[in-house]
Chains A and B, each alone.
Chain A
Amino acid sequence: GAVVSQHPSWVICKSGTSVKIECRSLDFQATTMFWYRQFPKQSLMLMATSNEGSKATYEQGVEKDKFLINHASLTLSTLTVTSAHPEDSSFYICSAVDLAFAYEQYFGPGTRLTVT
């Protein structure tokens, strides 16, 4: 149990285009999902907290107009990188908090985004 999936697992896009990444909790419900960014050989940087049915809460320094988050249901959150630039290239990881076990947070396998 406690599986979180992400789609796509990797994506290459051109500068100026937008990319949507999906995060799904497959076998549990999650009112809260988180989006992280990870640079090579570095730790995870929290970008935003996504709550089902409400607006996302962004961390300081993260542009909310550039990284659009939608948490449409208890099992799906999406991150859209708008007008992507090469500096947006990174590994994006989502996590989900199990509604039944609020202190267990499970991570997706990550999405590698390359912007050319």
Chain B
Amino acid sequence: GEDVEQSLFLSVREGDSSVINCTYTDSSSTYLYWYKQEPGAGLQLLTYIFSNMDMKQDQRLTVLLNKKDKHLSLRIADTQTGDSAIYFCAVLLSGGYNKLIFGAGTRLAVHP
């Protein structure tokens, strides 16, 4: 079945850029997502990208998709302490079921 992998932890200094990486196995996935989860809360949809796109930018967020390598990344520019959270990569399963397969989540720690 589909597998989504992420590194578990990233630590950055406030003001620097953060890059969170994700790899997936299903080459027919059409939509790929980034969600943010703060402690004790649900998931917030940050952004998503359609598989025919290479890049999508939304304010401080840049998503890069390398379909050949099945690699997705999320870049957060000018990282702030409020960005500290767990970031989940998710892939929409092909077949029209609207099911998302999640990675394990990357914990982003922003320090002064």
Q: Which residues does A use to contact B, with CB under 8 Å?
A: 2, 4, 6, 32, 34, 42-44, 46, 49, 93, 95, 97, 102-110, 112
Q: CB distance B44 to A107 under 8 Å?
A: yes
Query: Which residues 7-65 of B have a CB within 8 angstroms of A?
Result: 30-31, 33, 35, 40-45, 48, 50
The answer for the CA separation of A4 and B43 in the assembled complex, in Å, is 10
| A42 / chain B contacts, CB cutoff of 8 Å | 104-105
Q: CB distance B45 to A105 under 8 Å?
A: yes
Q: How large is the interface on B (under 10, 10 to 19, 20 to 34, 35 or more residues)?
A: 20 to 34
| A107 / chain B contacts, CB cutoff of 8 Å | 35, 42-45
Q: Which residues does B use to contact A, with CB under 8 Å?
A: 30-31, 33, 35, 40-45, 48, 50, 88, 92, 97-100, 102-105
Q: CB distance A106 to B92 under 8 Å?
A: no
The answer for the CA separation of A44 and B44 in the assembled complex, in Å, is 13
A43-B105, A44-B88 known; A105-B42 Cβ under 8 A: no
Shortest distance between the CB of A61 and any CB in chain B (Å): 13
Q: Which of A2, A103, A109, A112 sits near B31, CB closer than 8 Å?
A: A103
| B50 / chain A contacts, CB cutoff of 8 Å | 103
Q: CB distance B104 to A43 under 8 Å?
A: yes
9 contacts between A and B (CB under 8 A): A43-B88, A43-B104, A44-B102, A46-B100, A49-B97, A93-B43, A97-B98, A107-B42, A107-B43
Shortest distance between the CB of A35 and any CB in chain B (Å): 12
